[in-house]
Amino acid sequence: MGWAWEHAWSASTAEACAGGSSGGSSGGGSSGGGVTIPDEYFCAPVWKTGTLYTQGTIVDYQGIAYRALVDTHSITPDNTAYPDQWEPAGYPDEALCPVPIPNTIDYGEPQPVGGSVSAGVVNATGSIASARIADAQSSISGSKGGANPATDNGGDHGGLDVDNGARGTKLVPGSLPLQHNTYDLSAGTEIVTYIGDWAIYGRQYDFTKLPASNLNRIVYGFAGICYPDAKNEQDGGFPTSAPAAVMRTCNQSNLPDGAMAVADFEAAFLRDVGVAPNGVVGTESMYELDRTKVGGVFGVLYQLREQNPQLKLDLSIGGWTLSEGFPWMAHDPVRRKVFIDSVVHFLERYDFDGVDIDWEYPGSDGAVVGMAREDDGENYAILIREMRAAMDWLTVKTGKPYRLSSAIPAGLGRLQKVDWAQVHPYMDRLYAMTYDLTGAWEREISHHTPLYINPMATGSSAGTSANWTLTYLQSLGVPANKLMIGAANYHRSKATNTGDISEFTYGLTGSSSYGDSNWSGADLILGVAGLGSWEAGVIEGYDLYQNYLDSNMAPRNGFWLYTDKEANADYLYNDDIGAFISVETPRTVALKTQYAKDNGLAGVFFWMAEQDNGYNLNAVNHVLGNAQVANGSDASPQDQIPVCGRNVTSAECEALIAPLR
């Protein structure tokens, strides 16, 4: 019995065990009808009529644990009219089950945790070819998808996404060839990626093709908080169905306010996306499912983890559209305890390896205006401490360590809302979201995910870069080996007019003059957002290499590649139609990876896997020196990485990639 026997003996346990006449280790007792009950103990939910129990399921019926011999429905385990449906398996023991939601368990005090012990394990960077300049248009002509990037610069969208009026290519990545090589992960620098389960729908992404062998960890997005008053509208009046989806799971699972629930039950557990569910019908509580029988993206992830033993799985809670409930939950001790109880239950039931708190943002409004509270920073720190204590408690029970991470902002204003010196000791990783520094919410033209500061930037990206954010956090005492540098598998586009960029090389400088100068809020976003893939102003990685660049990094459809020497960042521009795209190329992601190695960071993480066709992840593995064991790409990272824009010389490009040598 181990931990459960020693630490969690309960009245229900005693009553259940009283059914055996012999007890101990002598082989069990009698059920009263002459049936021998094995002296074994199980987490066994109470049998309920109307429920389909698949073969092998264990239930509690009148104090005895029974095992289903076949798939069975509404037949009691003691029903003699239908024999061979059930067999006695032992006794139910609540202490072997995940914790109730809510409960009165005192999880104790949190203990500080260290960062990655492997951050210092560094391989030699893979070989890099000589620098070259993308100074000629690709020989590949034409475009793919529902829009023509050669003539359409975006702008004047009718809605935020392509299903609601935005113009975009609407390319289906599930129909495009992936370019992932296969690597043997030996470097100590971690590679982590977020995924979004919504990619199974319009994008038709096949999660069975995730390059799991090339990753250390996958973070699943998203779960939310049971918050009945959550708004189904984002800042600017843009609709979102995500909060209502969370509440459907909350209600279906009969969860109390403050509990955690997945946003899309069907995508997570039910739909056959490569792994079919076994007996899951879609009406169950998410906290009653057997993880060995789920389909959906969870089922695929379990399969990938089994095939790739190095792979870990985390659950992310929140994100841009599902963070409104955090201030409401975290400031109330009762709801905060419910939330933590639900996470502890989830980790044990679903055998995940960690949880990621993606609160956007403590003390600052995110998707919903007015959601932030003045005491958010305090409450965030309390939540992290109490979550750490609960996860440590669970480790004692299961013997398994659990990672507590948080996706955190990159800009000074939002970072100052939290006392990181008080928070970081209880966190395993901090994922610095060093992307989305600029976008269609402003006219200023700069880089959305630069390694270094663009000194000429104005607007939301001014004074901010990956290097600045990570240096600032370390100045507050956050260890480098807890920090993850963020890389983007998507690219932000803007509609412009000819001549809107005044400086291309020594600090990108410009401002879009497109459209009505009086636009603001939603009108501005929809007005100046460039052409997208599925969302106005957002071009996903696989689309970039179908319509804007070829496999040799040669530009297409009238666009040209440029390099900002100050920020060491790349961008695309088509001055003929007025179209700007801030991009993350194999070159820039390689430099971020080298930066992580050189500065002892825990690793590199991506938002998000299904947007990459493979080029960026190949580049990361190549720079980390992970041995390539199979070729799956139409281009080599050593040739894609050393490519700069037409505005610099080969010698200048060589200087920009010098850290990789």
The pLDDT, as a whole number, for residue 45 is 95
Contact (Cβ atoms closer than 8 angstroms) between residue 534 and residue 542:
no
Contact (Cβ atoms closer than 8 angstroms) between residue 522 and residue 238:
yes
Contacts of 264 (CB under 8 A, 6+ apart): 197, 198, 245
pTM as predicted: 0.94
**pLDDT greater than 90 at residue 4:** no
Please give the residue that has the higher pLDDT: either 1 or 425.
Answer: 425
The pLDDT, as a whole number, for residue 117 is 97
The pLDDT, as a whole number, for residue 292 is 96
The pLDDT, as a whole number, for residue 593 is 98
**399/13 Cα distance (integer angstroms):** 22
The pLDDT, as a whole number, for residue 33 is 56
**pLDDT greater than 80 at residue 3:** no
Nearest to 608 by CA among 281, 344, 375, 320: 320
Name the active-site residue from 360, 386, 540, 566.
360
Q: Within 10 Å of residue 592's Cβ, how many Cβ atoms?
A: 27
Please give the residue that has the higher pLDDT: either 234 or 432.
Answer: 432
The pLDDT, as a whole number, for residue 414 is 98
The pLDDT, as a whole number, for residue 22 is 30
**pLDDT greater than 80 at residue 12:** no
For the chain, percent of residues with pLDDT exceeding 70: 95
Contact (Cβ atoms closer than 8 angstroms) between residue 31 and residue 49:
no
Q: Within 10 Å of residue 110's Cβ, how many Cβ atoms?
A: 19
For the chain, percent of residues with pLDDT exceeding 90: 93
Residue 542 has, within 13 A of its CA and on its CB side, a CA count of 25
Q: Determine whether 566 is an active site residue.
A: no
**pLDDT greater than 70 at residue 497:** yes
Kindly report the average pLDDT of the chain as a whole number: 94
Residue 16 binned pLDDT confidence (cut-offs 50, 70, 90): very low
Please give the residue that has the higher pLDDT: either 34 or 125.
Answer: 125
Mean pLDDT, rounded, for 211-226 = 98
The pLDDT, as a whole number, for residue 24 is 33
The pLDDT, as a whole number, for residue 381 is 98
Mean pLDDT, rounded, for 553-579 = 98
Residue 35 binned pLDDT confidence (cut-offs 50, 70, 90): confident
The pLDDT, as a whole number, for residue 5 is 29
pLDDT in tens, 605-615: 999 999 999 99
Mean pLDDT, rounded, for 270-296 = 97
Give the range among 14-23, 30-39, 396-405, 459-468 with minimum mean pLDDT: 14-23
**pLDDT greater than 80 at residue 8:** no
β-sheet bridge partners, residue 60: 46, 65
Contact (Cβ atoms closer than 8 angstroms) between residue 448 and residue 437:
yes
The pLDDT, as a whole number, for residue 2 is 35
**pLDDT greater than 60 at residue 535:** yes
Secondary structure string (H, E, C) spanning 21-47 = CCCCCCCCEECCCCCEECCCEECCCEC
The pLDDT, as a whole number, for residue 26 is 31
**pLDDT greater than 80 at residue 34:** no
The pLDDT, as a whole number, for residue 308 is 98
- What the chain holds in terms of domains, given with CATH numbers, is 2-96 (2.10.10.20)
Nearest to 61 by CA among 42, 80, 76: 76
pLDDT in tens, 100-159: 999 999 999 999 999 999 998 999 999 999 999 999 999 999 999 999 999 999 999 999
The pLDDT, as a whole number, for residue 652 is 98
